[in-house]
Amino acid sequence: MQWHYSIKLSEQYHPQTIRDLLQKTWLLSRKVVHFLRINERVLINARYRPMNTVVQKGDQIDLTFDTADFTTPAPPFDLDLSKQPDVLFETNDLIVVNKPSGIKTHANQPHELGSMMNILQGYFKNTNFASYNVHRLDQWTSGVLLVAKNPVVVPILSRQISQKIIQRTYLCIVEGTFDVANGTIDRSIGFDPLDQRKRQIDGQDALNAITHYRVLENRGQTALVQIQLETGRTHQIRVHMASIGHPIVGDPLYNPQSTDFPMRLHSWKIKFPLPFNINSKEIDAPIPNYFEK
């Protein structure tokens, strides 16, 4: 199977080599660029040219990707036709959905059904698209989930995440109120040696984790808080907010005394550059009604 892209460079593109365009601007991997080069599957104005050729606004770039270029050309998820996804935005390269609380991002076992990846596989039935996992939301976290539809854009979106180009904003309701409206939590997160499901501050194999928060509203016994992640560790928001004495309402792991389910953590907004494009897109997911007072 092959994927073809034909892109005319707009006025906003500055002169650069085709290699820099592919690797630095469009964030393709060196491995994929190598395959494009040796197989002459990158054309500039309908001709193959060396990788040090300078391209500029108005040039036509044609790229052809092959299944053999990718380690995982097909995703491992079985299709699930039991539900329809709540689609917020979609192109030929990617889809953004509103994940409900209680549904996993992806299956963990062979032939497991019920996750968003399975549901999207069902949604793509009888098309040339498939669901490729790029990032994940915890099972009890709702909101914006970005999913690739082909293997070409998976490494692009993954690099956008690792390089902090993709911006994600969350909302949560936490226990207690705040005297200070803004704050940053900079505390490493690792495994909890007593519970494999959990993470903890300075746990085993801890990695740095940074969370920025802004208090939108104190609500008597709780507060509505906006979160921006600088890193993306497992359970980061849940662990960090609990570590400062403000666990998330309804969190079954880090606030077990709370019985007010579902968990009040919502992936509210995501902003990212579209693949092979200089334009960015911002998508927000409707706030669930259980976030109301």
Q: Which residues are catalytic?
A: 138
DSSP the chain: -EEEEEEE--TTPPPEEHHHIIIIIS---HHHHHHHHHTT-EEETTEE--TT-EE-TT-EEEEEEEGGG-S-SS--PPP--S----EEEE-SSEEEEEEPTT--SS-SSTT---SHHHHHHHHTTTSS---EE-----TT-EEEEEEESSTTTHHHHHHHHHTT-SEEEEEEEEES--SSSEEEEE--EEE-TT-TT-EEET-EEEE--EEEEEEEEE-SSEEEEEEEESS--TTHHHHHHHHTT-PBTT-TTT-TT---PSP-EEEEEEEEEPTTSS-EEEEEPPPPGGG--
Structural contact between residues 207 and 236, judged by C-beta atoms closer than 8 angstroms: no
What backbone torsions phi and psi does residue 129 show, to the nearest 5 degrees? Answer: -100, 165
Could you tell me if 88 and 56 are in contact, meaning their C-beta atoms sit under 8 angstroms apart?
Answer: no
Tokens of 202: 């300075």
Taking CA atoms, 186 is separated from 199, 200, 236, 243, 277, in Å, by 15, 13, 11, 11, 33
